[in-house]
Amino acid sequence: MKKLILHIGRHKTGTTSVQRFLAANADVLAARGVCYPMSGRGSDHPESNAADVDAHHRLAQIFTMGNTRDAEAIERLRQSFLTETHAFDTVIVSSEVFQNVERFHELRKFFEGFYIVAVGYLREYASYVASAYAQEIKTSARCEDVVAFERTFGLRLDQFLWMWNLVSNETRWRLYDPEFLKNRDVVADFLDVTGLDIAWTAAGSGENVSWSGNLLGFKRIANVCGLHPRIDRNALDTLAASDKRFSGPIRIAGEIQDAWRASNNCNNILRSLFGPIPLHDFSRAKEMFDWNTFEQETRTIIDAQAQDHLADMRIVMLTARARS
C-alpha cells in the first residue's frame, strides 16, 4: 500500500518553511521515490499569497465546510493526483488548512488506497494565541485587540487529535518549540520524523516572517481605517525580515498569559503527550504600540511601500496621532 505523509499543520508551526523546502527539493525527493505533487497546490482563498504555491491548500480546502467545488471538479483533481503519484511508493501532501477539515469521510475517500501517516505540530497555548493573532492582523482586515481575539480563538485540541487519530492509519505529533525540535529547526525535525534522507541546513529556510512592534500596530490601525487592501505585504515582509524592530513575538501581560493558560486544556494535553513543556514569558516582548518611537518608525514603514500608497498611509499616521 502506498504511504501518504499528510502534513496537517497546525498553522504558526513553521509550515511555510517545510513547504518551501519540499517544493524546492521535489526533484531530489522524486529521485528517492517520494512525490511532492503539483496537484492541489495553491489556494482559492482571496488572501492567498505567493508562498501558497508551495502548499496543498487547494486540495485541503475541498474537505472544509466552506468548499464550493462540485463533485466533478473534485474527481478531476483526484484523478490528476492519482496520475501524478502512481509511480511512487511515498507521497507527501502539506497544508495547514487540514487543521480545519470537517468532511473526514470525503478525505478518506479521496485518499482511498493510501496508508495515511498524519504529521502535526502543536504549540503551547499562549504562544499559539499570540502568534495567531499577529498573523491575523498581518494577513486580514481584523482589528480587535489580542484579548478579544483569544475569546473567539476556539481551540479544541482534544477534538482535533481525536479525529485525526481516528481517520489516520498512524499519527506523529510533535511539539513546536526549539527545545523539542531536531537541531532546533522544524524542517530538520520534519525530515527526521518522516524518515526522509535529505541533507538540510537551516540557512535560507524562507520562513513566514512574524510582524511585531510598531509594524503590527501600524497594520492594525490600517485595518481600522479600512486600508487592508492597500498594504504592500510583500514589501513589509522584506522590511520585517531585515529590521529586528519589526519582527518577533508581541508583548502579552503576564496575568493575561496566566488566564489564557488556565482557561484552555491545550497545555494539559501537550503535557500528556510530551511531558513538561516550556512556558515562555511574553511580558517583555515588543509592544504593539510604542508611542515613543511610533511616528519615526511609521515613516520607515511608509517609505518601504509603493509610492502610490503614500496618501493612504498618511491616514494611518494621522489616526495614530489622534489615538496616542
* Per-residue model confidence as pLDDT tens digits over 258-297: 999 999 999 999 999 999 999 999 999 999 999 999 989 9
- With a cut of 70, say whether residue 128 has pLDDT above it: yes
Match 496575568 to its residue by C-alpha cell: 255
| Domain span including residue 162 | 2-194
Residues 278 and 176 in one domain: no
Predicted local confidence at residue 278, as pLDDT = 98
Residues 187 and 236 in one domain: no
Q: Is residue 22 part of a domain?
A: yes
Domain boundary among 194, 225, 255: 194
Lowest mean pLDDT among 133-147, 216-230, 273-287: 216-230
pTM of the model: 0.92
Q: What is the mean pLDDT of residues 298-322?
A: 72
Q: Is residue 170 part of a domain?
A: yes
Q: What is the mean pLDDT of residues 170-194?
A: 97
CA dist., res. 165 & res. 171, Å (int): 6
Residues 15 and 90 in one domain: yes
pLDDT band, residue 42 (cuts 50/70/90): very high
* Contacts (Cβ under 8 Å, ≥6 apart) of 170: 115, 116, 117, 118
220 compared with 319, residue with greater pLDDT: 220
Q: What is the mean pLDDT of residues 310-323?
A: 64
Residues 243 and 183 in one domain: no
Q: What is the mean pLDDT of residues 301-309?
A: 77
How many domains are there within the chain?
A: 2
Note every long-range contact of 40-45, with CB atoms under 8 Å and residues 24 or more positions apart, other chains counting. Answer: 40/77, 40/81, 40/93, 43/97
pLDDT band, residue 204 (cuts 50/70/90): very low
Q: Is residue 203 part of a domain?
A: no
Q: Is residue 206 part of a domain?
A: no
> Residue 286 belongs to what H/E stretch?
none
34 compared with 209, residue with greater pLDDT: 34
pLDDT band, residue 162 (cuts 50/70/90): very high
Residues 185 and 277 in one domain: no
Are 92 and 30 in contact by the 8 Å Cβ rule? The answer is no
Per DSSP, the residues of 216-257 read HHHHHHHHHTT-GGG--HHHHHHHHHH-GGGBSPBP--HHHH
- With a cut of 80, say whether residue 195 has pLDDT above it: yes
Are 277 and 177 in contact by the 8 Å Cβ rule? The answer is yes
Q: Is residue 174 part of a domain?
A: yes
Q: Is residue 204 part of a domain?
A: no
Closest CA to 52 of 84, 95, 114, 83: 95
Percent of the chain with pLDDT over 90: 81
